[in-house]
Amino acid sequence: MRCYILRATTSGIRNLVNPVTIEFCGSKITYNIKLNGNNIRAIYGANGSGKSALILSFLFAKNLMHEPYYLKSKSQKHFDDLLNKKTNTFFFKCDFAVFDEKRNNKKIGVFSYLIEVKKVNGSYRITHERLAENKAISLNRETSLILESQDGKMICNPSINDLFLTEFQDKTKNLLSDTSFVSLLLSNVTDFLKDKKNKLSETMMKLVYADMFALALKIFVQNEDLHLSYFLSPKTLQEYQEMSPDNIKSLFISDYLTSSAPLTKVKKGEYERFVKYTERLSRFIKIFKASLQKIKIVKKEDENYYYCTNNLVYPDYEVSEEFESTGIKKLIALFPFLDGADKGDIVFIDELDANISGVYLEKLIEVISLYGKGQLIFTAHSVEPMHYLYKFSKSVYFLGEENLLVSWIKNANYRPYTLYQEGMIEGCPFNVEPFDFLSAFGEGK
């Protein structure tokens, strides 16, 4: 099973004052999820327009959904710097589909998730969280409530009679201002199913889908270590597989792998997978640097783990990844995310073009568009990706003044990269002349 974003709206991070919306489908929900040719969104805009803030919004939402008590895990200053000073409110709403990739991407269900964080009496609190199901054929129709919390109080759908919800409501009392109910699902579902008399209900399954969606989000942010983690799938995926062999074991298997230079922590039982992953990483780097012969793993061990570093081997020398060029290190860091987009994850990358030549980047975008099983949302300044993406409606977005997000729609012989550079995209007026820089470099006259 996989998750797929249909539509997402967010605001409140850094300079994102007004809501911005990214769409992967129209208002009509199709029976089968169409991936190829509709799985990439490129976001362009001037420096300071809010592109990075948009990517950070999804990272913040993921952390709220997946990390228990995330609002307590960081300092007050961290959230003061992250949230918009004007609104002090973070808003995130996402309509997502769960589909079966083994059955021609057949739709299993469509869900709507909302979370809102506000600064209340000097502290950040979750003021609203809602998970609902969309049983209609349109995203604009009213949804059916599964679970909701407002100002820390849980609200259940009175028409749903479920023992787990009753216990869950009791266990989360007075907690939901500080942590999302989605972040508490795993431990509570696991505890509930330890009693052999309890079974995985349809309602529980729908709640699990929300946590699956959070797990599917992979976010790479420039100049921060937010993208580093240990090798292989998060422990929670393994726990889900162990909850109930009859219902969960094959529910959601992520092929997402991560490699965090200069040290990668690998469970001994997963080492062979890590070797194969490193071989694929080596083939990827060779595309950009043909003189690379291989990537050699150097490992130390304790009782349960290998601690691995990579050495890049060339004809005349060998160098640790730590001392490689900035460009190669960035490619190594990006690979698991691009690999995730290929394998079925929902991947966000800030400034994808920062260390990849435009020629390579255009081809990379094309192969993920044609063959990728996941979604890729990235920000960029280089227009090369537009040369391929302009053929697909709403694959290119422009973030302009006052957070105005405009999507490109195919229009006769017009090309988005030409209009963008000429300042003819709404909200993105690049009306800059060479002499405008004289005031900065000259005498200021």
- pLDDT tens digits for 380-393? 998 889 989 988 88
Taking the C-alpha atoms of residue 381 and residue 352, their distance in angstroms, rounded to an integer, is: 9
| 240 within some domain | yes
More confident residue, 199 or 430: 199
pLDDT recorded at residue 226:
43
Pair 14, 361: CB distance under 8 Å: no
| 251 within some domain | no
Reply yes or no on whether the pLDDT at 365 is more than 90: yes
Number of domains making up the chain: 2
Pair 379, 51: CB distance under 8 Å: yes
Cβ contacts of 370-373, under 8 Å, gap ≥ 24: 370/36, 370/37, 371/36, 371/342, 372/35, 372/36, 372/39, 372/40, 372/341, 372/342, 373/2, 373/35, 373/101, 373/342, 373/343, 373/344
Domain boundary (292, 316, 335) is at 335
pLDDT recorded at residue 233:
43
Domain boundary (335, 370, 399) is at 335
CATH value at residue 226:
3.40.50.300
Mean of the pLDDT values across residues 252-261? 37
Q: What is the mean pLDDT of the chain?
A: 85
| 110 within some domain | yes
Helical pair 202-216 and 185-194, crossing angle rounded to 10 deg: 140
If asked whether residues 17 and 148 sit together in one domain, one would say yes
Mean of the pLDDT values across residues 402-418? 81
Domain boundary (335, 352, 377) is at 335
Boundaries of domain holding 114: 2-246+344-441
pLDDT recorded at residue 444:
53
Question: Of 96-105, 126-135, 138-147, 250-259, which range is least confident?
Answer: 250-259
Kindly report the number of other CB atoms within 10 A of residue 347's CB atom.
30
Q: Which region holds residue 88: left if phi is over 0, alpha if psi is between -120 and 50, else beta?
A: left
If asked whether residues 9 and 95 sit together in one domain, one would say yes
If asked whether residues 67 and 18 sit together in one domain, one would say yes
If asked whether residues 400 and 301 sit together in one domain, one would say no
Kindly report the number of other CB atoms within 10 A of residue 202's CB atom.
8
If asked whether residues 196 and 100 sit together in one domain, one would say yes
Residue at token pair 């959904």? 65
Residue at token pair 């030409």? 418
If asked whether residues 293 and 357 sit together in one domain, one would say no
Pair 409, 390: CB distance under 8 Å: no
If asked whether residues 160 and 104 sit together in one domain, one would say yes
pLDDT recorded at residue 52:
93
Taking the C-alpha atoms of residue 180 and residue 182, their distance in angstroms, rounded to an integer, is: 5
Residue at token pair 């005031």? 439
If asked whether residues 213 and 312 sit together in one domain, one would say no
If asked whether residues 297 and 356 sit together in one domain, one would say no
If asked whether residues 148 and 30 sit together in one domain, one would say yes
Pair 100, 4: CB distance under 8 Å: no
Mean of the pLDDT values across residues 366-385? 92
If asked whether residues 62 and 204 sit together in one domain, one would say yes
| 322 within some domain | yes
Reply yes or no on whether the pLDDT at 312 is more than 90: yes
The DSSP element (H or E) to which 337 belongs, if any, is helix 326-343
Reply yes or no on whether the pLDDT at 47 is more than 60: yes
If asked whether residues 198 and 261 sit together in one domain, one would say no
